[in-house]
Structure 1
Amino acid sequence: MTENSISKSEKTPWTRTRRWLCFLTLFLVIVTLVLLCYGSSLEPLHIWIYKIWSTKSYNTQQHMTTNGSTSPAQPSTSEYFVAYPHQYHFILDEPDRCQQESPFLVLMIPVAPHNREARDVIRKTWCRETRVLGRVISHYFLLGRSKEGHGLEKQVLQESQENHDILQSDFLDTYNNLTIKTMVMFEWLSNHCPNTLYAMKIDSDMFLNVHKLVDMLLKAPQHLYMTGMLAQGALVLRDHNSKWFLPYSAFPESTYPPYALGLGYVFSLDLPKKIVEASAHVKAIYIEDVYVGLCMRHLNIALTNPPNGGLFKAIMQKETRCYWTSVITTILGSPKQLLDVWGAYQTQVQGGC
């Protein structure tokens, strides 16, 4: 057999198929060994999906060092904690609106100051629904202080005067300060919404089905209640290269207590004050949803599983005919995608889904 004929025979479809079968077999063997070694301690897939998505708006500016590297040197233990409790103040506020409206549900949407596009699209989609199933719904965008200076501050002020839905506090708005942002949210709700039953913390890159959410809440407990996509037995990451790395000196346990993933969770309005009070006894780590779980554990309050495991989705795995009317949340990629999805959702509603 000549060299040329050997080369041709190696490129036959059967040879390529055998190679792929060998690769597939090797992959399956490796996966099986990993599962046998770690068993149920592996962190659930939906938690990893959320972690990947949750930093995309902040990664570049938050993790760049002076030489342009995205892998900074390991900081001291104190770098894994944030400045909370602390006396933060609101630069922009709507101090009377929540009490005047007495909503059934308040939607709290953390968003970066510069992300005007996301806020405008949300106002045109799921925040347009101010009365659902006979219940009043309110929304607020929660911002911190920007590094971008006076020009952006003027734009945000004008936006606030036009829409009356912006709450801006004086902490620096970065990914590592999301715990501060979340706790400021709890403070504000505790102080300003005495007649409200529920609130939801919902990220700005989410699809939200408010009708499905209200329908669920009409049958939900009204006290000591928190639900969403729950993480059970999530591993504490000890890899120094991970953005969610915590050293033993900062958190000695190997797994986190149960917590609701920060992409979107719902809670009764008796919880914010209790969580703020618990924060005086639980040192504030920078992973915001885990920290809320730590406060809930300190309070000895269990989280509640949603009535249907498919209500809170990280990503859409397969779009069925009535998908958007059957879920409460799904992560999206952009404000443009939210506009497209909102159109599909309305079509499904009109089609009898």
Structure 2
Amino acid sequence: MDFISKYAELKQHGRQPSLKMINLHPFQYIYLKNGCEFKAKGTTTLLILVKSAVYNFHSRDAIRATWGNVTGKNVEIVYLLAYRAALQPEVDREMMSHGDIIQESFLDAYMNNSYKTIMGFTWAVQYCSEASHIVFVDDDHYLSIRNVLNFIHTLGVVNNKQLMVGHLHANSGPYRSIFSKWYVSPEQYPFDTWPPYLAGAVYMVSREVAKKMVYAFPYVKYIGIDDAYIGIVARKIGIEPQHEDRFMSPPYLLYTDPTQMVYGEFKNIEDFKTVQRILKNYDAVKMCAFIWKCRYLFLL
């Protein structure tokens, strides 16, 4: 199925393609941030979409207090949430305080993660179209915005048009055990392997790729495993996900390589603050790594 030509038909002639939509998204926005507030237009503008479980209030606050506390940069950060009735009053208060939540009415559940990702792509294209690059990241990861921007500046114009980059998984297949959290039935997906896909914890796409993804979603059968689903959609529109080691970094690399773009997984604000201190004091850490006296760096 040639999604690229159908996309061109839609954009150039303003017509819907003659295909049946098989992945409807009948959910309503509960909270909708109407636009981004980039400081300067015409330059690199980075939108960061943090995928967060509704109940992870502390994780979102940890990000706001550490790596997400950015000012004076062309960076916008919003949090993608689903819905749980019992927790909505607390979400309401959070939104009143911060104004940075995008939320729809689908239930907060693991197999609805692809709905959350679709929501993020769609909001980005419709309400933050001036973003040149879009990063998806889980709420238990520390993102180095400086390193992400440095990486973007190394890319050429051609690369940007097809940009989908992160930690690549190739030749992996669906879990068939009904007891697995990641179970996918043969009826949902009959093949033994997934198309190449990027780990869902963190990845980046260009504005051009995001637009194509949003067009394709309604025509690609829904699967709840969000990273695999994005890989399927990417194949449909002719995008090849690219591997970059620095998009998936274990915590120990904090001590050896400050150019990594993300570190994970962390559980609380103290973990995030520790990462921030290490990166801030990296030169000193490098000089005295493994010397016990240098532990004071992490207690500042």
Shorter-chain TM-score range: 0.7 to 0.9
CA offsets 1:260-309 (integer angstroms, 9 cap, x no match) = 11000000012222112212221011101110110001111111232xx3
TM-score by length of 1: 0.68
- Kindly tell me: are residues 155 and 211 of structure 1, through their superposed partners in 2, closer, same or farther at Cα, counting changes over 3 Å? same
Is the Cα contact below 8 Å between 2:82 and 2:108 reproduced in 1? yes
Q: Which one of the candidate residues 116, 120, 123 is aligned to 1:188?
A: 123
CA offsets 1:175-226 (integer angstroms, 9 cap, x no match) = 1110100001111001012221001000000011111111001122321211
Match in the other structure for 1:105: 46
Distance in 2 between residues matched to 1:320 and 1:144, nearest whole Å: 32
Match in the other structure for 2:79: 141
Q: Which one of the candidate residues 225, 249, 269 is aligned to 1:287?
A: 225
Higher relative contact order (CA 8 A, sep 6+): 2
Distance in 1 between residues matched to 2:254 and 2:90, nearest whole Å: 41
SS in 1 for 2:58: helix
- Kindly tell me: are residues 187 and 346 of structure 1, through their superposed partners in 2, closer, same or farther at Cα, counting changes over 3 Å? same
Is 1:156 aligned to residue 91 of structure 2? yes
Q: How many residues were matched structurally?
A: 260
- Which runs of 5 or more structure 2 residues have no equivalent in the other structure? 1-21, 288-300
Q: Which one of the candidate residues 104, 125, 132 is aligned to 2:66?
A: 125
- Matching residue's letter, 1:123: R
Match in the other structure for 1:252: 190
Distance in 1 between residues matched to 2:210 and 2:27, nearest whole Å: 16
Distance in 2 between residues matched to 1:298 and 1:178, nearest whole Å: 20
Distance in 2 between residues matched to 1:95 and 1:350, nearest whole Å: 43
**Following TM superposition, by how much is the alpha carbon of 1:89 offset from its aligned partner in structure 2, in angstroms?**
1.7
Is the Cα contact below 8 Å between 2:34 and 2:127 reproduced in 1? yes
Greater shift after overlay, 115-124 or 339-348? 339-348
Distance in 2 between residues matched to 1:105 and 1:227, nearest whole Å: 14
TM-score by length of 2: 0.80
Distance in 1 between residues matched to 2:240 and 2:48, nearest whole Å: 22
**Following TM superposition, by how much is the alpha carbon of 1:237 offset from its aligned partner in structure 2, in angstroms?**
2.1
Greater shift after overlay, 333-342 or 163-172? 333-342
Match in the other structure for 2:215: 277
Distance in 2 between residues matched to 1:189 and 1:161, nearest whole Å: 21
Match in the other structure for 1:56: none
Is the Cα contact below 8 Å between 2:136 and 2:204 reproduced in 1? yes
Match in the other structure for 2:103: 168
Is the Cα contact below 8 Å between 1:312 and 1:327 reproduced in 2? yes
Is 1:312 aligned to residue 228 of structure 2? no
Is the Cα contact below 8 Å between 1:99 and 1:194 reproduced in 2? no
Match in the other structure for 1:229: 167
Match in the other structure for 2:3: none
- Which runs of 5 or more structure 1 residues have no equivalent in the other structure? 1-82
Greater shift after overlay, 204-213 or 160-169? 160-169
Distance in 1 between residues matched to 2:112 and 2:283, nearest whole Å: 38
Overall identity of the aligned pairs, in %: 24
CA RMSD of aligned residues (A): 2.2
Matches within 5 A, 1:1-353: 84-98=23-37, 104-131=45-72, 135-148=73-86, 152-220=87-155, 221-306=159-244, 309=245, 311-316=246-251, 318-319=252-253, 321-323=255-257, 325-335=258-268, 336-348=270-282
**Following TM superposition, by how much is the alpha carbon of 1:322 offset from its aligned partner in structure 2, in angstroms?**
3.8
**Following TM superposition, by how much is the alpha carbon of 1:312 offset from its aligned partner in structure 2, in angstroms?**
1.9
